[in-house]
Amino acid sequence: MKVKSLFIIIGSCLVQYCFAQPVQYLKPQPQLLNTIKKNFADAARQYKAIGANFQPGQFPRSYDPAAGKLITSNSGWWCSGFYAGTLLNLYEQEHDPALLTEANRSMDSLAKEQYNTHTHDLGFMMYCSFGNAYRLDPKPGYRQILLNSAKSLASRFNPKTGCIKSWDSKPSDFLVIIDNMMNLELLFWATKETGDSTFYKIAVTHANTTMKNHYRADYSSYHVVNYNAQTGEVLQRKTAQGYADESAWVRGQTWGLYGFTVMYRETKDKRYLQQAQHIAGFILNNPNLPPNKIPYWDFNAPNIPNALRDASAGAIMASALLELCRYTDKREAISYFNAAQTILRTLSSPEYLAVPGANGGFILMHSVGHFPQKSEIDVPLTYADYYFVEAMKRYQQFSDK
């Protein structure tokens, strides 16, 4: 599974996000572009250092600053693909062969998850890794792994509920989380590659059901909806990783923003564009969104303004807004672009960006994983890094150069 350098160079010119042409009224700031260039170089140094700190078959997950210890997972953990994806995106920028070598090594250990039918996270795991690899080097081996992954993901779809099952639980539960919107991109890719509309129809049905049952009147989202698997009836709505069932867990809001933006890109159905715009409005107009646009871990956390911020949600939001702004009218586009720009400036500041050699090799500090379970609190996380790198790439694509 070796990505060829020639294809990496070619692939860097053939960006898959449909972002080739700049939007004339959205002008990136030269100073921030220079900062991003430095960020990529520093991030490459950081990620070259991470690989020396864990064993084959392990995947970096987080870092415990107090203990000075890297936290790892196995390949089945939902974040296992972000590491290779970040390495590949950094290699695309820096052309450092050490990054490529480590990405290939990580994907060798990850490949077996293509047959994992017990998780909805195959989009995260396989599309963020092998999807980037295939984008840069469209070789048959990567394609087959992605197709097998899409089939495994599709196997979790239940036509009665109209959803892909997220978490396996007791037989009477059919749990679906808002995060699952992020895994639909893999299914759209599979239809485009094969012509088999089954994947497309599953993605659209899942999104429609999510739009109907996950969202409140103000376009905030519950985290979890539990369905009756036999009838499709909604049994329960809750927010497992947020402050309370009726609160707006912030990373869930950004998963939805990103996911419905992708839905519009892949279908051109205006309902999805409107949904993404409504979600963006809820987030950006929320009175509890700080001026620097890095959100608190939950918009309804009881100790705001002393609540922890979630850099991962900020990074996801920035990346989503930098795509959404290309699909909207000028006024909204400028608003989205400026918000993303503010996030990137903030995440590039010493408050959030680790200096090379620190933070266990991770790029960003101060993310929140699962606050109620006291898991991954105020630490670096692989997906924060992945979406920060992706957002910086997308910002660069607005340059006329």
Catalytic residues: 121, 179
Q: Tell how far CA 142 is from the center of its chain.
A: 20
Q: What's the rounded Cα separation, in Å, for the pair 139 and 8? A: 12
Tokens 């870092």 — which residue? 63
Q: Confirm if 47 and 99 have CB atoms less than 8 A apart.
A: yes
Burial class, 399, CB count within 10 angstroms (exposed 0-12 / middle 13-18 / buried 19+) = exposed
Q: Which two tokens stand for residue 265?
A: 């890109």
Q: How many residues does the chain have?
A: 401
Q: Which two tokens stand for residue 277?
A: 């715009």
Degrees to nearest 5, angle at CA 83 with 14 and 69 = 155
* Residue 124 DSSP one-character state: I
* Residue 328 DSSP one-character state: S
Q: What is the dihedral angle through the alpha carbons of 111, 112, 114, 116, rounded to the nearest 10 degrees?
A: -150
> Which residues, 6+ apart, have CB-to-CB distance to 12 below 8 Å?
92, 93, 136
- Which of 157, 155, 161 has the alpha carbon at shortest distance from 227? 161
Burial class, 335, CB count within 10 angstroms (exposed 0-12 / middle 13-18 / buried 19+) = middle
How many Cα atoms occupy the beta-carbon half-sphere of 82 within 13 Å? 25
Rounded to 5, what percent of the chain is helix, strand, coil? 55, 10, 35
Burial class, 294, CB count within 10 angstroms (exposed 0-12 / middle 13-18 / buried 19+) = buried
Q: What's the rounded Cα separation, in Å, for the pair 175 and 34? A: 44
